Chain A
């Protein structure tokens, strides 16, 4: 099990009911600049951080911005919509 600083890059997202899904931009106000990422199969916070920031080490930024739906940085669900700060 990887620690918070270095989550398991191979951690496969859980497949199951997505109870903590965030609202998408649809219906949001016209000034909403929030960037969302929908988790796909095989993705980890590390990979997502690498995609948006170029540096997987910055994954805690994403984790912190999504603490309302994420309890563990190693456990993200396919289909979850994550806020990318």
Chain B
């Protein structure tokens, strides 16, 4: 009989001790979660623009860890929140690198493409004044080149607007399509395609 009573008391003590330990983890778990939140909020500023998928992944990770905190799973929070903080810092660095890369691309495109467009426009203007087109060029080809030039001009304006609006990703994407179209039009006009438009 005493043996059962002792066992019961030991069980109660063990459960209390475990509970006390768990409650002791709450504060550190909250601190770890707060650190992760801060790191993610910092990373989101640029990651949202340049690495949207990674930013979403961080958000969903944070929501999952917060849920664990609410359920009292402090040990899981203590294990996962620091990993989330590290991940947020990695994403922030990667987003900064991506921004720098896009800025460099845009810088090159914005200084180079207007000259390409100007060369196309000049040739189209001159050919439009010609009474007879050069050998191997039909009126249809010139019409295609004119249409292409209109498209290029519109897309370039959109790219510039995107850049002014701070959307470098969109600006570079639009400028890249301008590059492709410009190479097509230059070929139609039998003009040399600059190296930058070949890649």
Chain A interface (Cβ within 8 Å of chain B)? 25, 29-35, 50-55, 57-58, 61, 85
Contact = CB atoms under 8 A, between A and B. Distances in A.
| Interface size classification for chain B | 20 to 34
B115 interface: yes
Nearest to B114: A31
A30 to B, nearest CB: 4
B76 to A, nearest CB: 53
15 contacts: A25-B192, A29-B112, A30-B108, A30-B112, A31-B111, A32-B115, A32-B194, A33-B119, A33-B194, A35-B192, A52-B134, A58-B126, A58-B129, A61-B126, A85-B122
B115 A51 contact: no
Nearest to A33: B119
Interface of B: 108, 111-113, 115-116, 119-120, 122-123, 126-127, 129-135, 137, 186, 190-197
Contacts of A33: 115-116, 119-120, 186, 191-194
Interface of A is mostly: loop
Which 5 pairs between the two chains have the least Cβ-Cβ distance? A31-B112, A30-B196, A33-B119, A54-B134, A55-B130
Nearest to B116: A33
A31 B186 CA distance: 12
